[in-house]
Amino acid sequence: MREFICSICGYIYNESVGIPERGIAIGTKWETIPDSFVCPICGAPKSVFKPHNVTPATPVPLPVNVDDEHLESLRELSTGELSVICSSLAKGCEKQQLTAEMEAFNKLSEYFKSKTFTAPQATTLAEVTKLLDDDIAKNFVDANAAAHANNDRGALRSLVWSEKVSVIMKTLLDRFTKEGDAMLENTRIWVCDICGFIYIGDVPPEICPICKVPNFKIIEIKRR
């Protein structure tokens, strides 16, 4: 019997076990499970599940020019980069319950953000979907390769979270494109305040399936 793993939260479907409590009998083959199946933990669709115990491809590092690398280490950070760094430090302080430090870093983040040029934002569903497609197909690949090449563990950890959030967001947008407003009727919308994980359902998971914070950090988004 085979196993399939959710690429968002790591839940494993085992054909020899099934999910009897959800009407999926022991021994049910993966391909016979309806496409409407969602992960019991994070709500991700069947399409994000991958065969388990398959050795992943080794990322190909981007070529690094020694002179370029030296210059990169010397360049001044942009206000946008400083804003993101301060925001990340604030989140770290929040996890450690360092309230004063968290507030200080948040203020710095907002200051640098106010000094940053903001490019025109996507305004339509098609534009947002196109940006996510580009991120998932190319930008995350390039960013991961660069982080591996520079052995940047902090960047790799951040990329794991953000890529999973982008994938789950893309699947939700695909659903909304097909179902329209009916997708959001008689249900609730939740967003993790730490990593941005989105959950559609009455009750959020006990812990965020991506960043593992307790569900009191998963905030309900009220619709007007």
Please, which residues have CB within 8 angstroms of residue 20's CB and are 6 or more apart in sequence? 26
> pLDDT tens-digit profile of 62-118?
454 545 555 455 567 788 878 888 888 888 888 788 889 999 999 998 998 888 766
Q: 6 — alpha (psi -120 to 50), left (phi > 0) or beta?
A: beta
Whether domain 3-51 has CATH 1.50.10.10: the reply is no
Report yes or no: 193 and 208 within 8 Å, Cβ to Cβ.
no
Amino acid 60: pLDDT: 52
> pLDDT tens-digit profile of 185-204?
889 999 998 889 999 999 99
Percent of the chain topping pLDDT 70: 87
> So where are the chain's domains?
3-51, 79-115
Report pTM: 0.64
Report yes or no: 221 and 189 within 8 Å, Cβ to Cβ.
yes
Record the tokens describing residue 6, joined without a space. Answer: 């959710």
